[in-house]
Structure 1
Amino acid sequence: MKSFVRVIVVVIAAFSSFYTFSQQAELKGRVTDKKTTESIPDAKVMLLSPGDSSVVTGTSSDEEGNYRISAAPGTYILKVTVLTYNDEVRTIRLPGGATELAIVLSSDAKLIDEVSVEAKAIRVEQKGDTTQYNADAFKTNPDATVEDLVTKMPGITVENGVVKAQGEQIKKVFIDGEEFFGDDAAAALKNLPAEIVSKIQIYDNESDQAKFTGISDGTEAKALNIVTKTGKNQGQFGKIYAGYGYPDLYLGGLNINIFKGKSKISIVGMTNNVNQQNFSSEDILGLSSSGSASGGQGGRGPGGRGAAENFIVGQENGISTTHSIGINYSDRWGTKTKVTGSYFFNASKNENRQLTEREYILSSQSGQLYNEDYSAVTRNYNHRMNFRFDVQLDSLNSIVIAPKLSYQGNDRTKEMFATTADKQASLLNQIANSTYGDNKGINAGTSFLWRHKFMKPKRTLSMNLSGTYNNRLGESGQESLAEYYDALAGDSSATINQFADNKTNGYITSLRVSYTEPLNDYWSSEYSYTPSYTLSNADKRTYNYDPNTGVYNTMDTLLSNVFQNKTIGNEIGTNFRFRKNKANVQIGLSYLNTLLLNNQEFPVNRNVNLVFHNLLPNVRFRYEFSKTKSIQLNYRAGTRTPSIDQLQNVIDNSNPLSLSSGNEKLKQQYNHRVFGRFNVTNVTKGSNFFVFLSGEVSSDYITNSTIIATSDTLIDGTIQLARGAQYRKPVNLDGKWNTNGYVSYGIPLSALKLNLNFNLGGGYGVTPGLINNELNRSNTRNGNAGVTIASNISPKIDFAVGYTFNYNNAVNSRQGSTNNEYFVQNLYAKFNWIVKERLVFNTNYALNAYAGLSSDFNQTIMLWNAGIGYKFLPKKQLEVRLSVFDILNNNNSIARNVTESYIEDVESRVLNRYFMLTATYNLRNFGTPAK
């Protein structure tokens, strides 16, 4: 209550400063092009402090090029900047009252000439914390996508459908600063042609509130902005394609873009049964049940985002049939409102067969070997939409409203046969298990941000209210027969025939109030308060089949539970920021009080209430040695609150050989995370050197306690484990930490017309867990190195060759010196050639070699694809192509997973050799309005 009163006092005091309005100066005018005299929208007009060049206040020109800024009377540095124009910098004196100033900008081509560097030679530049690549310095063929373009750039990769830059996952893609298809980075890059791109910018995208206050709140996410070429951002472009192949395969789709100034509409669609997929985690119900983890987000546990909310999913195992359509829209409504939004529908059917070999860690003398063979058919459909309305109410006030909604359904059938044996290969048990599940769920949420600037520079007030709601209904069934073998106690068997109803729902509400106050020319401060409330309900009821009545009418109380969790958080904090010359420092500390109220209503009524008090410091340091060299160091503490699934104390017996449950006594996880970046760019040579280092230490880490029954065992007086079966539940342990590093270097080989990119990475981590109530530490080491050579010869010849080497080693404390080393080598090559303008030939080859896995998984997999096509029509818009996928019929999918209790190798079903005849019509209609 006292904290709330303090906030109200601050708000009242802040608003009292309005009386100074009549004493303020106002600068207004219009920004125009020197050559054409046309207006220039979106020009950033800033007033800087003469002492340290820090930003005092600023705005952007509207659609007509008009701008208006209010500030205290005095002397300022005026800086005007906009893409493709020279910066305008001058010193001005603002008296009280209104001052009109017309700003005329010229093209930046002259600036490039003055420093005697040709535009084409500028491959990469560093502008503050933004790495900018010049698209013209990277040659691609005429039909290339933005994905083809960016993967030639140093530090940018696409791994298993996930786009990464400088070792971190790209979470958002923007076009000219506007969101494009929400969080689906891969969808954005695959559905835009490379020819429209002028620049690619990589940077840390901050929250709207952090951008406004200038104070980091720890929610940064790696983003990629596509700056379009002049003339290429007007018109209609895209492609429509359809193909049919042997045996009985098809592929069809479209992506159409209609750009007209600030108005951009993009439509994408796809239908195929050749495993091409495009979806995010919101399209897969129940993909992750992670809690409201904030780790590194300032510690707002209950109000923070779930770790998987915006996680982009890579290629799914198995063979998928997918039908999807989406539309993205961005525009300006009038002069004050920016609007972006997207809608996406995805329907898929996935068929998979998977073989698993798993070794459970007991000791160097004993262990268990688990083999599983399962096949599954999963059907999924999803509707999701999101919008963003950014409204500039006046020169001092703005609001951002961002609603989102998704509805999804998922059903799955699975057949499994599994065996467990000891290290002497003596069979302990086996099971034949059949399960099905049918789930439906809705997720809705919105955020409302109000931002206010006071007349005093750097004094601001902002309030961000957000809320989410989810509701999931599901039912599942299971039939199984398990057989257990014991020479002493005798063999036994157990059957299961069950049906279960499962309902979960809840909501999260959070408010963040932030007030910033300048202390002097170099120091500014922020004071924030963040209350949050989370409610989660879970109701699972399981019934056994009664053969006498033929219905499921007997409730199994061990597998049934009604549970409610309430999480109440209150965080109050302060941050101080220092900016002078080349240094930028932020130091902050917040206090977070979290109350977890866990109430089990069935099968017995009991309450578990936990209170946590945490201090969450943060430090952010950035120093620019020059415009081309900088270093950044960040440290932030955060918390992770356990999810409802982790708290709900109910048995999951979907695999009777491996039972699991929640733990209502789980505590919050507390994390310390630090990372650093060092970047050097040589504009003249076109080279870029980047280093990224990170580390994390967790206390009360949420991990698993696993009981592996060496004989028939009764757990907690209720759970019967037969010999060889396992039981797992989450617990809190200390001792979790990891560190990772990534280095990339790119340079053009101008004489050979090639781009050469190197990367080097590695990490070390320790993950604790309990096995039969004894501590096990899984120590994992990994290292990787890679080199890529990409052509820069001409748009007609495009090739790339790359090699990567991966080393992995896991040592478990319960196995002494026993090592589990494995190696993966990847070699790939691709070649595209346009012969005599119309004949097109392309091929790609990938070799994946595995060593150190179990004997059945040590394989060398060679994937070779090729195609030949011909372009028709006067402008070569139509291409007919014959393609062959997996010519050697050698495709396969292999993965190794290491946890705190076991190491496993997994082989999944994939699509093998097929032929496809495809017709593609390319639409290129730039510079003309839509008809």
Structure 2
Amino acid sequence: MFAQAQTGGRFTIKGAVTDTTGAALPAATIMLLLPADSSLTNFGRSNKEGAFELKNLKRIPYLLKVSYVGYVPFQTEVVPADGEVTDLGKLKMKVLQKELYEVVIKTARAPLSIRGDTVEFDARAFKVPPGSTVEDLLRKLPGMQVDADGNIKAHGEEVKRVTVDGKRFFGEDPKMATKNLPAEAINKVQVFNGKSEQSKVTGVDDGKREKTVNLELKDSHKKGGFGKAVAGVGTDSRLEGKVSYNRFDDKQQFSLLGFGNNTNQSGIARNDYQDFKGSQSFNWGDDGDFGFNSGRYYGGDDITIQPSWGGGGSEGFTKNWAGGANYNYDTKKTKVSTSYFYNQTNSIMDVRSSTENFLTNDSYSTLDNNKTLGFTGNHRPSFRFEKAIDSLNTIILISNSRINRGDGSYESFQQSFRNEGILSNQSTVNNSSVYNSLAMANLFMYRHKFKKKGKNFAVSAGYNINNSEEDKRLSSINRFLQDSTLNSEINQRNETESTRGNFKGSLSYVEPLSKSIFWESFYNFNMRRDKVDRNVFDIEGNLQETNPFLTRYYANDFTYNRLGTSFRYSSKGLNLSVGLAGLEFKLKGKFVRDEAEADFTRVNRTYFSWVPNVNLNYDLKNNRYLYLNYGLEVREPSITDLQPIVDNSNPLYIVEGNPDLIPASMHNIYGGYQMFNPASFTNLYVNMFYSYNINQVVYNRTINLENLITTTKPMNITGGSNVGGYIGFGFPIKKTKSNLNLNTGINLSNNITYINNVENETRTNNFNFGARLDLTPSDVFTLYTNANWNLNYSKYSINTNQNQQIFNSNYGADMNWKTVKDIYLNARFNYMTYKNDQFGFNQKQPILNLAVYKVVLKSKKGEIRLTAYDVFKKNLGITQNVNQNYYTERRVATLSRYFMLSFTYNMRGISASVRRSNF
């Protein structure tokens, strides 16, 4: 009986890693594998004395692997000895020499290796179903998380960048790579903390780290093309298709992407377009604005070259078509990235909303049933060229464009009710519009590095344009039950032409004062000219007459200057920067009813502000980091808010501009601590933040108590703050088999606005709790679960009777199970609850998607899939919103239950024996 007790149950393996002389090798990577398939079951690292322990192991034979930089990998079989501990003694590793190279090659590859803050995974050791994407592969890796939207976390931190073979072919947002590259194309996955682009360019370490994932391709996929084609047909006339093709070699990358569907699928995420543009779309400094962030010019509604996807994502009903190509050429001296992308969306949005509006001691409600039909089409060419003239000089040219065309119609029936449920007014609205726009952003940059390390100079110059024209038809019938003299009919035409030209330039100079102290000076300049010509006509029959109250011509010149300097101390992991800049805004504007008139109303103002900035980053070693930042953000009012015009598109909700607005500023401070233990794969992430607003632009509301017409006008208000924090903690319950991540956050905010000239302070206290459990017990079964609870308290200073508490929760699970004969089952379930006792709102929404698919064809290149979407038919498109002095419930008629039969064909790289392609 005693012998059985000693040889049964669990046991511990221990030992020590040394070199051939017996000297300890600390932080060596220890891996425990199953001999049958070399699957990873446990791992760890040796301590400072080279010792290690792997505890609570099943009493079965194992394969032990040890890796250490510069040494031949060590491998030995482990058979459990009698007793609770099997001591392997000293494991001696040989120095890696050229004559031992073949020995290393013949040694079985390690599934996992850890070097400093870099963790490298052998993708072949983590099996995923055929046809899986990189996203599916990442879910299997220890310490990695991928949520339902494709956002990636590694070691508790958000992944900022994904590279392919070290090249940034997919921009800043990693999802384009992870969603479209096949898992089978990947040889290794490397996770590490990369330096920021700024520190790479200047040669001065700024202490900032960006969590990066590098995907190393298999040789077979570097020598030929690979991609995927999908076609599907479903019930209710649902159709979908998608094709992607990629081709890589050491210098070039070529990609094609196209899709079409009527299933509300955009094919790629809304913020993924820039990723499609290629490796150089978002390098540091591509905005050409040098210097620290505090006081940087954001330009209000400045041009952004982003697609207007339309359709509201998963809401409503959309038909989407898109396609494009991009090409990247990337060598040490020359980098070229160019692309063209087109997308169009036809959308139908059928919305029912109810709003409770709070006044000083009263309230009223509104109901709105509206329907929007829309079309938008976007052409987007882009180009980036970077040339290293020599080792000291570099030039960069960038040009991005957007050509947009669209039309839409809006029908609405709106009603307002007083407290007793008495109908006060109603409006029937029927509007339509046609619009075109052209935007282009061009930038030139020159960088010079001096021979003295850390000393450099940079200059940039850019010119942007953003022009648009729109023709609106406004028609409405407005009835006021309390006073029929207010009844009106609107039949108008609104023609608006807007042009913008924007020239900007920037200078930067960095001088090292010593090995650890650097001085940077910078200057930013921006000169912008806007013109808006808005003509509004009242229409009666075939006649139209100018409306003098709504017609406006508006022009303004905006000049921005920022001159600043900062000192940086960088040594032994401590990085401290302190800076100050002087910021000046000059605004000259004029407006009149008609451009031909001479009697302009003019605006001429100058604003000056000192802008401080403090930044601290401290590398505490052993993957522990501390950071702290303070800055002042300054924002100029948008041109939309500055225009002294009235927008009466909705006759019950009038919007006015305000030419008297001044720039808003915000004091921001945030800091935190993060830690990752590569031996245990435990991570901790803590952060705190605080912000305070000065001259914040808010939209004050005036409600006519007789007819309940609301007028909003932007104004500057000082006050309002936001404070909170977040804690995230993750650890493996069983290494390689299950991981648990916990998080909690708090956000306390107060916002100030005026309701009928009475100051209203809205205090919102938000508490969030979350948990995620990932189970990957075998190659044939995975289960990813999550839960999130959110509690929101809102309190109003002018009407405390309307204080409310909202509780939302979300429970999710994603299961994949391989059954017999390459048949797979997949289930995705989300259970969402929405509760607001103040308004008796209690909604439960279970969404279940089921799929069964089989891998077919030679080399498993094909897949046949049958999918049931929203099995319970509960996709209701429900949202709640609490803001200023109102609460809104919104329901959107949305695509619900349907079934889809699809076929996927995977195109794969050709044999590795073929010579490298040179295109």
Task: Pick the TM interval, shorter chain.
Answer: 0.7 to 0.9
Q: 1:148 to 1:350 in 2, by over 3 A?
A: farther
C-alpha RMSD of matched pairs (Å): 3.5
More deviation, 231-240/618-627: 231-240
* Distance change in 2, residues 1:637/1:309 (3 Å): farther
SS in 2 for 1:792: strand
CA distance in 2, matches of 1:543, 1:204: 58
For 1:773 and 1:295, locate their aligned partners in 2 and report how far apart those are by CA, in whole Å.
41
Contact in 1 for aligned 2:301/2:638 (Cα 8 Å): no
Please list the CA deviations of residues 381-409 of structure 1 after superposition, one character each: whole Å capped at 9, or x if unmatched.
Answer: 11113222221110111112221111111
Secondary structure, aligned partner of 2:650: coil
The partner residue of 2:858 within 856, 862, 874 is 874
1:827 corresponds to 2:811: yes
Partners of 1:520 and 1:668 lie apart in 2 by: 39
Which residue of structure 2 lines up, in the alignment, with residue 633 of structure 1? 628
Q: String of CA shifts for 1:587-620, please: whole Å, max 9, x gaps.
A: 1111011111121132562111121111111111
1:500 aligns with 2:455: no
Counterpart of 1:755 in structure 2: which amino acid?
A: N
Give, in whole Å, the separation in 2 of the partners of 1:451 and 1:146.
36
Conserved in 2, the CA contact under 8 Å of 1:139 and 1:791? no
Q: Kindly state the Cα deviation for residue 446 of structure 1 after the two structures are TM-superposed.
A: 1.9
Shift of 1:623: 0.9
Compared CA separation, residues 154 and 383, structure 1 to 2 (3 A): farther
Q: Contact conserved, 1:215 with 1:575, CA < 8 A, in 2?
A: no
More displaced 10-residue stretch of structure 1: 415-424 or 184-193: 184-193
2:263 corresponds to which of 249, 253, 274: 274
How far, CA to CA, are the matches of 1:761 and 1:138 in structure 2? Answer: 33
Check whether the contact 1:824–1:849 (CA below 8 A) recurs between aligned residues: yes
Q: Answer yes or no: is 1:360 the counterpart of 2:357.
A: yes
Q: 1:582 to 1:296 in 2, by over 3 A?
A: closer
2-structure distance, mates of 1:620, 1:564: 39
Residue 591 of structure 2: aligned partner: 600
Shift of 1:294: 12
Cα displacement (A) at 1:424: 2.2
How many residues are paired up?
797
Q: Matched residues in 2 for 1:748 and 1:600: separation? A: 64
With over 3 angstroms needed to count, the CA separation of the structure-2 counterparts of 1:169 and 1:436, relative to structure 1, is farther
Q: Distance in 2 between matches of 1:168 and 1:774?
A: 44
Q: Which residue of 2 aligns with 1:433?
A: 429
Distance 2:675 2:159 in 1: 21
- The corresponding residue for 2:465 is 469
State the partner residue of 1:51.
Answer: none
The 1:525–1:340 alpha-carbon spacing in structure 2 relative to 1, beyond 3 Å, is same
> Does the CA contact (< 8 Å) of 2:156 and 2:684 recur in 1?
no
Q: Identify which of 323, 326, 333 aligns with 2:324.
A: 326
**1:427/1:659 CA distance change after superposition, 3 Å:** same
Equivalent position SS for 2:646: coil
Distance in 2, matches of 1:658 and 1:593, equals 35
Q: Displacement, 1:188?
A: 3.7
Displacement of 1:125 after TM fit? 7.1
Asked if the contact 1:122/1:686 (under 8 Å) is kept, the reply is: no
2:131–2:863 contact (8 Å) kept in structure 1: no
Matches within 5 A, 1:48-197: 120=111, 126=117, 140-150=128-138, 158=147, 174-182=163-171, 185-197=174-186
Q: Give the structure 1 partner of residue 204 of structure 2.
A: 214
Q: Do the aligned partners of 1:400 and 1:449 also contact (CA within 8 Å) in 2? A: yes
Does residue 676 (structure 1) correspond to residue 671 (structure 2)? The answer is yes
Aligned to 1:572: 563
Deviation of 1:261 (Å): 1.9
- Equivalent residue, structure 1, for 2:216: 228
Q: Give the deviation of 1:444 after TM superposition.
A: 0.6
- Kindly provide the amino acid, as one letter, of the partner of residue 788 in structure 2: T
What's 1:480 paired with? Answer: 476
Q: Pick from 259, 264, 287: which aligns with 2:253?
A: 264
Q: 2:744 aligns with which of 730, 740, 760?
A: 760
**Which residue in 2 is equivalent to 1:620?**
615
Cα separation, 1, equivalents of 2:615 and 2:301 = 21
Q: Deviations over 1:272-299 (max 9, x none)?
A: 0011013647999xxxxxxx99998331
- CA deviation string 1:615-644 (max 9, x = no partner): 111111111111311111112212111111
TM-score of the two chains, using structure 1 as the length reference:
0.79
State the alpha-carbon separation in 2 of the partners of residues 559 and 293 from structure 1.
38
Deviations, residues 880-927 of structure 1 (Å, cap 9, x unaligned) = 111111111111211122322322121112111111110100122264
1:370-381 equivalences under 5 Å are 370-381=366-377
What amino acid is aligned across from residue 744 of structure 2 in structure 1?
L
2: distance between equivalents of 1:293 and 1:561? 34
Which is greater in Rg?
2
Does the aligned pair in 2 maintain the 1:257–1:265 contact within 8 Å?
yes
Partner residue of 1:700 out of 695, 698, 705: 695
Give yes or no for contact 1:433–1:481 (8 Å, CA) kept in 2: yes
Match of 1:918 in 2: 902
Deviates more, 1:815-824 or 1:503-512: 815-824
1:814 alignment partner, SS class: coil
Q: Which residue of 2 aligns with 1:590?
A: 581
Contact 2:532 2:555 survives alignment (8 Å): yes
SS state of the match for residue 507, structure 1? strand
Which residue of 647, 671, 675 maps to 1:652? Answer: 647
Match of 1:530 in 2: 524
Going from structure 1 to structure 2, the CA distance change for 1:564 and 1:126 (only over 3 Å counts) comes to: farther
In the alignment, is the contact (CA less than 8 A) between 2:785 and 2:813 conserved in 1? yes
Aligned to 2:847: 863
Q: 1:456 aligns with which of 452, 456, 460?
A: 452
Aligned residue for 1:505, secondary structure, equals: strand
Q: TM-score, normalised by structure 2?
A: 0.80
The answer to whether 1:729 aligns with 2:713 is yes
Residue deviations 1:283-328, cap 9 Å, x none? 99xxxxxxx9999833132669949766997835211110111223
Distance 1:563 1:452, change over 3 A: same
Tell me, in whole angstroms, the C-alpha distance in 2 between the residues paired with 1:767 and 1:691. Answer: 26
Decide which moves more: 307-316 or 779-788. 307-316
* 1:512 counterpart = 2:484: no
The counterpart of 1:779, out of the listed 730, 742, 763, is 763
Deviates more, 1:262-271 or 1:651-660: 262-271
Q: Deviations over 1:434-468 (max 9, x none)?
A: 11111111111122221111122222111122232
One-letter code of the match for 1:894? Answer: I
CA offset at residue 189 of structure 1? 3.0
CA gap 1:389/1:294 in 2 versus in 1, 3 angstroms? closer
Q: Which residue of 1 aligns with 2:416?
A: 420
Distance 1:309 1:124, change over 3 A: farther
Please, which of 529, 541, 547 is the counterpart of residue 556 of structure 1? 547
- Paired with 2:889 and 2:115, the residues of 1 have a C-alpha distance of 41
Q: Does 1:402 align with 2:412?
A: no
1:362 maps to a residue whose letter is L
Match of 2:387 in 1: 391
Report the counterpart of residue 348 of structure 1 in structure 2.
345
Give secondary structure in 1 for the equivalent of 2:549: helix
Counterpart residue identity of residue 408, structure 2: R
User: SS where residue 640 of structure 2 aligns?
Assistant: helix
